[in-house]
Amino acid sequence: LKRGQMMTTASNNKMITQQILIQLGKWDSEHCCALSEEREITPIEHIRQTETWDCGLACVQMILQWLRQNDVEDPQHSNNSANDGEVNSWSKAANQTRSEKAWMIDFVATTSIWTIDLVFLLEHLLSGGSTTNSSGSKNIDTVQEIREEIGTLGCQQHCLHQRNSSAFPPPLSPSSSYLFCSTKFGVDESYNNLGYYKDKFSSDELRVKHLFDIAQKQNLPLLQKSHLSFEVLVDIVGRKGVVAIVLLDNRVLMNNNAIRTNSTTSYTGHYVVLCG
């Protein structure tokens, strides 16, 4: 890049970073600077996906576990955990993880997960099942309501588990926030021809468009950008108390030789957690 282009890129990156920090509540408007420049290595504990399609849910579980660790610790809970013994404690944690995953599968009600599905899942979790969101708009705040909304469009549901919707995961700190960033609010119709998506694309398209309409009507925290540089992403997640769920092309995680020898390999989305 030439010097002028470098300066323009740096200026754009700074502006986008500011927009994101404002949305996340980490910007001091009075002094026009980030509330904190403190950096940290974020202690995210890995949770494995259990199916070929639930990487996004596993990422949300990792985020929830991290948020709970950041909440004020309950000494009584800590003492009980210590007295239970390491094996019993691990067993309880594993059971909670499985129960939580089952609840999430029940909530999204599909095995073809798009990012907007995760947005509604996070909104429900961070609002604690409240009937209103942070903007004061009414939430579609129960599993049944979302199913009814989607069901009016005739979308097929792929619910694998029947669970009581009241089996809600433990509440999170009200100070937690999120922001959905994307190059497009809606459906990329080119996915219709991709192997991973084409079988369910018609029903997915209806559901995803409908959920985006609802998200915009409810003023959920959405930010559309034609390009979000890796430098901005690294800067954001390197800050204390910030992590990201990122949608990658799964081919970048595969062996390069496998890609070169398989010309039929096409884009397949894969969610990962990116942290400092």
51-87 pLDDT tens trace: 989 999 999 999 998 988 876 454 444 444 445 556 6
Average pLDDT over residues 245-255: 81
- Cβ(17)–Cβ(236) under 8 Å? yes
110-162 pLDDT tens trace: 888 999 999 999 998 888 765 455 455 555 544 445 555 555 443 433 333 33
90-117 pLDDT tens trace: 677 778 888 889 999 989 988 889 999 9
- Of 233 and 261, which is predicted with more confidence? 233
Phi, psi of 239 (to 5 degrees): -80, 150
How far CA 233 is from CA of 53, 57, 116, 185, 220, in Å, comes to 25, 21, 20, 19, 21
Average pLDDT over residues 202-214: 89
Distance CA 236, CA 13 (A): 11
Enter the pTM of the model: 0.76
Phi, psi of 46 (to 5 degrees): -70, 135
191-201 pLDDT tens trace: 787 777 777 88
- Of 249 and 49, which is predicted with more confidence? 49
pLDDT of 264 higher than 60: no
| Structure-derived torsion over alpha carbons of residues 38, 41, 45, 48, reported in degrees to the nearest 10 | 110
Task: Flag the least confident range among 8-22, 152-166, 242-256, 262-276.
Answer: 152-166
9-29 pLDDT tens trace: 788 888 888 888 888 888 887
Q: Determine the pLDDT at residue 141.
A: 46
pLDDT, the chain, mean: 76
User: Could you write out the DSSP letters of every residue in 151-164?
Assistant: HTTT----------
pLDDT of 245 higher than 60: yes
